[in-house]
Amino acid sequence: MTCDNVPRVCRASDSPGPDCCRKQCVNVMTDNQNCGQCGKKCRFGQACCGGNRVNVMYDPKNCGGCNKRCKKGSFCQYGMCSYA
């Protein structure tokens, strides 16, 4: 049984996500291949954080991964806070 025929299978407790994209259950809030919507891929250096593509290499609010904040006054470079 695939989710394109029966979308509710994606809402099962053992499903990887509540959304159906190309016959697969995914979570568009976190899936790098379907970020925010089906087929919207993250590029190199990006991650899907809350359904948005963010640059985890330079974003001080998502440095190295989703919700990994740098301390106030520091910066994010190459996915690390205050890299020197």
Higher-confidence residue of 70 and 5: namely 70
**What is the reported pTM?**
0.83
Sort residue 82 into left (φ over 0), alpha (ψ -120 to 50) or beta: left
The one-letter code for the residue type at 81 is C
| Strand positions, DSSP E, the chain | 19-21, 24-26, 46-49, 52-55, 76-77, 80-81
In the Cβ-directed half-sphere of 59, how many Cα atoms lie within 13 Å? 17
φ/ψ (deg, to 5) at 9 = -60, -25
Tell me: the pLDDT tens digits for 28-64? 999 999 999 999 999 999 999 999 999 999 999 999 9
Spell 6-24 as b/e; 16+ CB within 10 A means b. eeeebeeeebebbbbbeeb
